[in-house]
Amino acid sequence: MRFRSYDALKIFDAVARNLSMTKAADEVHQSKGSISYQINKLEAELGFRLFERAHAKLELTEKGRRLWHVSQTTLSQIDREIEDLRGAASGAVTVGALTYFSSRWLSPRLTRFFEANPGSSLRIEPISSLDMLKSVRVDLAVLWGIGGWEGHKSELLLSLPAVPTANRAVAEQVKQLGLAEAVRQLPLLGDSSGDSGWRAWHKAAGLPYAPSRSSLTIPDSNSRVQAVVDGQGLALWDDLVAPEFEGGTLVPLTDIRLEGAGYHIVFPDGALSEGAGSMLAWLKEQVMR
């Protein structure tokens, strides 16, 4: 059966980002009842659930996460193409960034950018890997890794060593198995570097890289944080998950850190525009602060 409810994907995106019918309703200026009806109708047409509803809390199902990632990418590309066709984006700066970096580091600082650059037009494009730069047009991108972005010029913006993390229940499993055995048996969630981060951490820990055949790939970095909280496996995270560490929903599994890891500015081919140059200078200034 051909899918027809494309309008409902915008509603789905709002609910998935907020994990709240009420907040999504405020964002799109509709009633909570209308939002709930449209999500239920969308789930009925799709034939699978998008959200788990437990104790008035919404959580994306695995199928919901996969659809959200695809719809985010596709809808944002359509929006930008329309802006380009209208000629509205000619002076805009587009920054590609991991959703995790955008929400936890970049977004809280953006007010300062507009104060320092009044009249600027900025677009934050969600990206999850270097490969996406082939299909998504950005002026510069922020990706996590240990460097070596093949075919692209890059420079380290923010150095943040990373450690393997898990939720409390999985951390107890790790304790019983021992760390060396745990990283062989439990799923290791990849990141924007593919498996380069995990390979580098194993080298730093003096362990062979021989992961379990069980795997879970979640390209969206914010969704990957939630997957670790939900007990889906182990992932490398840094100090940007301090709230989860402090609240006990995530646990660092070892003192062995992946030094040299962090967020890199990756430059697509071509010279930077004046606006992109200003954005780059501002990002570096924020790190120094």
pLDDT band at 236; cut points 50, 70, 90: very high
The phi and psi torsions of 197 (rounded to 5 degrees) equal -60, -45
Q: For residue 80, give the H/E element and its range.
A: helix 62-86
Query: Among the ranges 45-49, 63-67, 253-257, which has the highest mean pLDDT value?
Result: 253-257
- Judge whether 100 and 242 are in contact, CB under 8 Å: no
Q: Could you give all domains of the chain from N- to C-terminal order, each with its CATH number?
A: 6-69 (1.10.10.10), 91-159+263-288 (3.40.190.10), 163-260 (3.40.190.10)
pLDDT digits 0-9 by tens, 109-156: 999 888 888 877 888 989 888 888 877 888 899 999 887 777 788 899
Chain position carrying tokens 């599994």: 253
Q: For residue 40, give the H/E element and its range.
A: helix 32-46
The pLDDT value given to residue 234? 95
pLDDT digits 0-9 by tens, 50-100: 998 876 678 899 998 888 888 877 777 777 666 655 544 456 888 999 999
Indicate the average pLDDT of the chain: 86
- Judge whether 142 and 264 are in contact, CB under 8 Å: yes
Neighbours of 224 (CB within 10 A): 26
- Cα–Cα distance measured from residue 95 to residue 106, given in angstroms and rounded to the nearest whole number: 11
Residue 257: C-alpha distances to residues 173, 215, 231, 238, 252 (Å): 20, 22, 21, 9, 10
pTM over 0.75: no
Q: For residue 267, give the H/E element and its range.
A: strand 262-267
- Cα–Cα distance measured from residue 160 to residue 146, given in angstroms and rounded to the nearest whole number: 10
- Cα–Cα distance measured from residue 200 to residue 196, given in angstroms and rounded to the nearest whole number: 6
Chain position carrying tokens 């034939």: 47
The pLDDT value given to residue 72? 76
The phi and psi torsions of 9 (rounded to 5 degrees) equal -65, -30
